[in-house]
Structure 1
Amino acid sequence: MAERAQYEELIRQFSAFGAVKREMARLLPSDCPGGAFGVMTLLGRHGDMRMSKLAELLAVDMSVTSRHVAHVADRGWIERLPDPADKRSRILSLTPEGQTQLDDIAEWSTQLLAQRLSDWSDDEVGQLSRLMARLRASFDDCRVPAARPPALSGDEQSTRTPAITIK
């Protein structure tokens, strides 16, 4: 198991990674916020699906998913078709315009990464990708509660987030 200092450095790097995510988000068109892009990305990757499946993949509440879907549908990037198996449900489907939007954003993102990582070797880029996929897999099922740190005693309670004890 890694040392405490390694986990602390990893936490600092997660915070710093926010700047990378913000720069990547700047590539999104003004009418395509991150949630809308997430909807289109998942439909592009997994194909047509019900809203409940999309909410599960986004790991957000149905009401949040519904707002994202409405935004994307209003722009003509997805369509909501009746589900033949259950007329009360809708199947979400990426439109050709939505696929074009998704392809354009993917192209811009790829160009940005290629530019910013131009001094990285192919092996380093591959290693980063594999490690990020492995990290994500370690956190994949967000519905399973993580072990909680021990409760703070009355003297220790504050508004700060309690630290997790790492051995």
Structure 2
Amino acid sequence: MAAHEQYQELAQQLSAIGVIKRGLARVLPPDCPPTSVIVLTLLKRYGEMRMSKLAELLVVDMSVTSRHVAYAAERGWLDRQPDRLDKRSRLLRLTPSGEALLDDVSARYTEALAHCLGDWSDAEITQIVGLLARLRESFGECHRPVAPGGASPAHDLTACPSARTPH
């Protein structure tokens, strides 16, 4: 088990990830905020879904999700169609324009990472990819689904077994 000081250093390094995220955001097309990329990526990964499911995946409330969806829909990146099973609901779907945008963003991100990490070895890139995936999975294990009709947070670190025991 890591020492408390190591967790403190990890927390500091993770807080600095914002610098990396802002750097990657600078390579996005001018009318494409990072949140739009996240919305479109979720639609590509999970397919057609209701706004409530998207809000759950984004871990934000419906009003925030609605703004993100409206922005992407205005640009033709996603489509909102009536749900065949519940006419009051709408299903969100990635459009060909949204697919093309994601392809462009992927190429831009890849180029930016290749430029910034050009002096890293293949082994180091493989190692960080594996460690970041493992970190994300560890936090995914802390995910507690929102109870029907409940407003509990989607992420609760106290749901992690290791977070309940003092270190």
Q: Normalized against structure 1, the TM-score is what?
A: 0.83
Tell me the SS of whatever aligns to 2:16.
helix
| CA offsets 1:66-120 (integer angstroms, 9 cap, x no match) | 1000000011111101111111111111111111111101100011111211222
AA at the equivalent of 2:156? P
Query: What residue in structure 1 maps to residue 157 of structure 2?
Result: 146
Query: What residue in structure 1 maps to residue 48 of structure 2?
Result: 48
Residues 76 and 15 (structure 1 numbering): CA distance in 2 closer, same or farther, change over 3 Å? same
- % identity of equivalent residues: 56
Contact 1:78-1:98 within 8 A present in 2 as well: yes
Q: How far, CA to CA, are the matches of 2:61 and 2:137 in structure 1?
A: 21
In the TM superposition, structure 1's runs of 4+ consecutive aligned residues that sit over 3 Å from their partners are none
Q: How far, CA to CA, are the matches of 1:64 and 1:37 in structure 2?
A: 15
| CA offsets 1:131-151 (integer angstroms, 9 cap, x no match) | 11111122221625333xxxx
Contact 1:4-1:166 within 8 A present in 2 as well: no
Matched, 1:85 2:96: no
Q: How far, CA to CA, are the matches of 1:144 and 1:43 in structure 2?
A: 20
Tell me the SS of whatever aligns to 1:86.
coil
Residues matched between the structures, number? 151
- Consecutive unaligned residues of structure 1, counting only runs of 5 or more, are 148-164
Q: Normalized against structure 2, the TM-score is what?
A: 0.83
AA at the equivalent of 1:41? T
Kindly state the Cα deviation for residue 125 of structure 1 after the two structures are TM-superposed. Answer: 1.0
Query: What residue in structure 2 maps to residue 16 of structure 1?
Result: 16
Matched, 1:115 2:99: no
Q: How far, CA to CA, are the matches of 1:49 and 1:110 in structure 2?
A: 28
Q: How far, CA to CA, are the matches of 1:132 and 1:144 in structure 2?
A: 18
Query: What residue in structure 1 maps to residue 150 of structure 2?
Result: none
- Consecutive unaligned residues of structure 2, counting only runs of 5 or more, are 145-153, 159-164
Q: How far, CA to CA, are the matches of 1:12 and 1:99 in structure 2?
A: 35
Query: What residue in structure 2 maps to residue 158 of structure 1?
Result: none
Query: What residue in structure 1 maps to residue 67 of structure 2?
Result: 67
| CA offsets 1:37-92 (integer angstroms, 9 cap, x no match) | 11111112221111111111111111111100000001111110111111111111
The alignment yields a C-alpha RMSD, in angstroms, of: 1.8
Q: How far, CA to CA, are the matches of 1:118 and 1:46 in structure 2?
A: 32
Query: What residue in structure 2 maps to residue 126 of structure 1?
Result: 126
Tell me the SS of whatever aligns to 1:87.
coil
